[in-house]
Chains A and B, each alone.
Chain A
Amino acid sequence: MFKLWSRGIRFQMIVIVSVLLLVSVLFMTADMLFYSKADDVLIKDLEKKITGTVQSLSKQMTEQLSTQILLEGEPGQNLPSALEKSFKDIARNHAENYKGVRLGIYIVNQDQIFIEGFLHDFRPPGGEGEKQREQRIYQETSAGIKAVVSGGIPITKLGQTWDDQFIEYLAPIHLNSKLVAVVWAEERVHPIFAQNARTRYILRLVILITFCFGIGATLLSTISLVKRVNKIKDGLANMEKDFSNTLPEMTGDMGQITNAINKMASGLKEKEALSEQLRISQNLASLGRLVTDIAHELRNPICILQCTADLLEPKVKHNPELNECVFMFQEQLKRLNLLTEELLDFGRPMPIKRGTLDLRILLESLIETIIPLLQKNEITLNFSNPENLPNIIGNKEKLKQVFLNLFFNAIQAMPKAGVLTIQTFAKEKLICVVVNDTGEGISQEDQSKIFQPFFTRKTDGNGLGLAICKKIIEYHGGSITVESQPGVFTTFTVCFPIN
């Protein structure tokens, strides 16, 4: 078998089925070619015996009748009775010496036969009479008789009924080159051989059908097994790429296997997600510390620059050129200050102070503050804020910061008019706020990055706004997602768990 078990299941099955097939075919061929020859030998033997008997019978009759003709002249009208007498004399002798052989004579143009001897030793009591028997045998033999009469040569016939087989030899008797009668002998092949042959035939048929059926069923089930195994194989390859690619549903044992694998994969996926989350939060925490340190280190140089600029400012008031320089200083210092504030905000641990909040009131107050900006940019506001929304628990100032950030981003994305849609709704155990703008949109590639710290496409941004928003939202147990089609729209959805 060498390395058979390390080969594919399809190959293994083909080898096994082929071996089975080969062995069976060899045995059946041997059986057909050699073992059934036993019957033929027996039949040959019987044939020889009855051929000999008939030849001897016909020879003796021909000699007897020829002698009669020599002594008494042409028999003429008496030929049939001479034939009958001669047959009975000689055949009886043969039948008595040779049990189980039946001899018969048909006298041409007489439409009558005579029989000596019996095929069976056993005869039922009250059986058919002599005439009836002769009639029956005549019917059975008539085909052979006709053949010999018309052909003029002897024939051998192998007859068969359901459970019996017999052999016949028919030969013509010529007198003066004229066919005058047909004599024959017949003998049963022992019934056990006939039955054996039949049984063997049926057995072979049954074995063949069963075998074909077995091979067919094996092949079908193998093909189906191979298909399922291949499905699992392909499924596992897909799963390797991504644990969310589950294996297809299956029935039976394979179904149990795929279910177990799917269960394992979803467990691994969960674990992977958790460790990814842990990794991200660890990264964020260390990033937070780094950012805080940097911001703290920046405060002294900024302070020195700020004080220097402040010192310079009154002194250059009357020199427009220098005054402009100081103004630029001050502007950039403001920016640096804002950046360090935001960096600290990002790195700072969240406040512990939280209370029950009505998002509706919070949003309304925020929208009031942005209305002048909306008017300036010719932005239409579409604000739907249903009452009776459940409260959430959170830090009011931090959440204000989140929504202001989202509103400002939306406004910045629509410098030349547009529609800002703000909607709130409750969904299952969440309360969600959707902020949609008809601005420039965000490319698919950028959508996955916009919540990362320091990622920005704005020329004057520091890339911290959305990172801080996400941090605050996640601190509240919520989530923020983005959906956008560049040039068409951008939608941010913020959801918080209901108190």
Chain B
Amino acid sequence: MSLVRILIVDDEHGIRWALEKALREEGYEVFKAASGPEGLEVLASQIISLILLDYKMPGMSGLEVLERIKETRPDLPVIFMTGHSSIPTAMDALKVGATAYISKPFHLTDLKETIIKVLDTRMTN
């Protein structure tokens, strides 16, 4: 099994830190970006198999980043991280092309399950 490389795009250092730690433990290779443009840069220079994308970021919003990703990598799975049960935002993200969404704050188990589900779908496709 080839290594799954996950990019975390979130302006919050704590989130990046916690998710990196948790996902590394699960055996994923983790890349981090603190903003949308930085995330796009990483995406251009690295082979990424999944993106965890925050919705609310200063400067370029999660939705804009998602649109840009879809332009270059339409088949790349993106898990959108929204605020407290903000369903309308999640719906917008799905419309633009996000593969799944998870609302903050979440349990690690939920995140891990979502990642596995998304990757499984990708594999079967």
Q: Is the beta-carbon distance between A299 and B104 smaller than 8 angstroms?
A: yes
Q: Is the beta-carbon distance between B18 and A337 smaller than 8 angstroms?
A: no
A302 vs B25: C-alpha distance when bound (angstroms)? 21
Confirm or deny: A344 has a beta carbon within 8 angstroms of a beta carbon on chain B. yes
Q: With a 10 A CB-CB cut-off, give which of A299, A301, A333, A340 has the most chain B CB atoms.
A: A299
A302 vs B83: C-alpha distance when bound (angstroms)? 11
Report the stretch among B29-37, B39-47, B60-68, B105-113 that lies at the interface: B105-113
Q: Is the beta-carbon distance between A301 and B107 smaller than 8 angstroms?
A: no
A305 neighbours in B (Cβ, 8 Å) = 105
Q: Is the beta-carbon distance between A306 and B21 smaller than 8 angstroms?
A: no
Counting chain A residues whose Cβ lies within 8 A of the other chain, the interface size class is 10 to 19
> Are A304 and B15 CB-contacts (below 8 A) given A299-B105, A311-B21, A337-B105?
yes
A295 neighbours in B (Cβ, 8 Å) = 84
Closest A residue to B16 by beta carbon equals A304
Shortest beta-carbon distance from A236 to chain B in Å: 54
Q: Is the beta-carbon distance between A303 and B22 smaller than 8 angstroms?
A: no
Q: Is the beta-carbon distance between B15 and A296 smaller than 8 angstroms?
A: no
A77 vs B98: C-alpha distance when bound (angstroms)? 169
8 Å CB contacts to A: which residues of B68-124? 83-85, 104-109, 111
Closest A residue to B12 by beta carbon equals A300
Q: Is the beta-carbon distance between B56 and A296 smaller than 8 angstroms?
A: yes
Q: Is the beta-carbon distance between A303 and B21 smaller than 8 angstroms?
A: no
Q: Is the beta-carbon distance between A300 and B15 smaller than 8 angstroms?
A: yes
Contact of B14 among A301, A333, A337, A344 (CB under 8 A): A301
A300 neighbours in B (Cβ, 8 Å) = 12, 14-15, 104
Contact of B84 among A301, A304, A341 (CB under 8 A): A341
8 Å CB contacts to B: which residues of A322-373? 333, 337, 340-341, 344
A303 neighbours in B (Cβ, 8 Å) = 12, 15, 18, 104-106
B56 neighbours in A (Cβ, 8 Å) = 296
Q: Is the beta-carbon distance between A299 and B22 smaller than 8 angstroms?
A: no
Shortest beta-carbon distance from A382 to chain B in Å: 37
B25 neighbours in A (Cβ, 8 Å) = 311
Q: Is the beta-carbon distance between B19 and A296 smaller than 8 angstroms?
A: no
A302 neighbours in B (Cβ, 8 Å) = 104-105
Q: Is the beta-carbon distance between B15 and A310 smaller than 8 angstroms?
A: no
Q: Is the beta-carbon distance between A304 and B18 smaller than 8 angstroms?
A: yes
A296 vs B12: C-alpha distance when bound (angstroms)? 13
Confirm or deny: A308 has a beta carbon within 8 angstroms of a beta carbon on chain B. yes
Confirm or deny: A307 has a beta carbon within 8 angstroms of a beta carbon on chain B. yes
Contact of A311 among B15, B22, B85 (CB under 8 A): B22
Shortest beta-carbon distance from A161 to chain B in Å: 118
Closest B residue to A304 by beta carbon equals B14
Q: Is the beta-carbon distance between B108 and A344 smaller than 8 angstroms?
A: no
B83 neighbours in A (Cβ, 8 Å) = 296, 299
B14 neighbours in A (Cβ, 8 Å) = 300-301, 304
Shortest beta-carbon distance from A88 to chain B in Å: 145
B21 neighbours in A (Cβ, 8 Å) = 311
A310 vs B107: C-alpha distance when bound (angstroms)? 7
A451 vs B83: C-alpha distance when bound (angstroms)? 28
B104 neighbours in A (Cβ, 8 Å) = 299-300, 302-303
A300 vs B105: C-alpha distance when bound (angstroms)? 7
A306 neighbours in B (Cβ, 8 Å) = 105-108
Shortest beta-carbon distance from B93 to chain A in Å: 16
Q: Is the beta-carbon distance between B108 and A307 smaller than 8 angstroms?
A: yes
Binding site for A on B (CB under 8 A): 12, 14-15, 17-19, 21-22, 25, 56, 83-85, 104-109, 111
Q: Can you list 5 A-B contacts (CB < 8 A)?
A: A296-B83, A296-B84, A303-B106, A304-B14, A304-B15
* Nearest 6 CB-CB pairings of A with B: A304-B14, A303-B105, A310-B108, A307-B18, A302-B105, A303-B104
